[in-house]
Structure 1
Amino acid sequence: MTEPTLPALYLASTSTYRRQLLAKLTPQFHTAKPDVDETPLVNESAEQLVRRLAVAKAQAVAASLSTGLVIGSDQVAVFNNDIIGKPHTAENALTQLRRFSGNCVTFLTGLALVNAQSGNIQVIVEPFNVSFRTLTDAEIIAYIKKEQPLDCAGSFKSEGLGISLFNKLSGDDPNSLIGLPLIRLNQMLLNEGVNVLLN
């Protein structure tokens, strides 16, 4: 893996959504797929899970570098104390969206920034609440067919047609809902001496 010119920034993810988000801050980054087992631990809360995996992903990539900053992120949805992941199938997406209809779902995004040289770790968990309007089965089925949100936690794409499913969104950073809290990431980069406006 060749290192880019300074600032050396790596995204420990191959997610198209996260790449697009990070590109809002800077075009100067590489991506790498972290080799991390994402299985939840026994009695691990959703917040503990996304925090642990965000750090683990960043550290997995940082371990192969001598310098650079590595971004790790992980996201889950939480509803009625259940951790909701990616549906992977249309049937699972239908089940998820039926449960969410008329209810509020909390999305938790873990974000970590690891300095490969110093070993310094910054990590936060960013919450974001999504209130779904009451949906009919016909609406849910049509949405799934149109947007195929099978690789998205919670079975929707808020940056696309998924916005039509909601009554209200509430949180500090709408980017966190897509998978990368850019406001908090920018502060982490500033803490490491990287100002995206000046680089």
Structure 2
Amino acid sequence: MSKFAATTKELLPEATARRIFGMIKRELALVEDEFERQAASNIRVIDYLGDYLRASGGKRVRPALLILTNYAVGGRASDENVIRMATVMEMLHTATLVHDDIIDNAEFRRNRASVNSRFGNHAAVLMGDWLYMSAFESSLRERSLSILDILTRLTRKMTEGEIIQLSTTGNSEITREEYFDILQRKTAFLCGTSPP
């Protein structure tokens, strides 16, 4: 293989993502441990559902973005508060997925039965709500009104995006701007949020 071909191959998105995620492998392992801790409950059914959701995996893009951003500004991303906030972002994301699956009547998420299809809509709604509240409870440890403000605005924007999407279902007249507004509210705001 030529030097050019090897360089080109290395630039493939998958290889780049592997390299970037490899640089923060230790921090992402800390996020997994923290997620397990934050999702634990003395209520057996919540503990079981939390384990089920965590075992579903995921790419952990949102925590990775927070960790990488922290390093980019000279922070120490393995610090307890950074790992906690990275986990908060993953918990918020997971809560949105649980609720989205209910709305979309999704049967599968990440090659497994979705929470709603396996345990029913009632359990899924409550588990999504529990994840939201657990994420906010964890963020309170920072004792920062600006973080709570960011997370509250984020949650409101994501909910608005879901409601707008619901109201446009089946509407073939939706404009490009309206479509991208929904995407921004449902996905971009969560990816772009990095509490200080």
TM-score w.r.t. the length of structure 1 is 0.28
TM-score w.r.t. the length of structure 2 is 0.29
Q: Which has the larger radius of gyration?
A: 2
Q: Which has the higher helix share?
A: 2
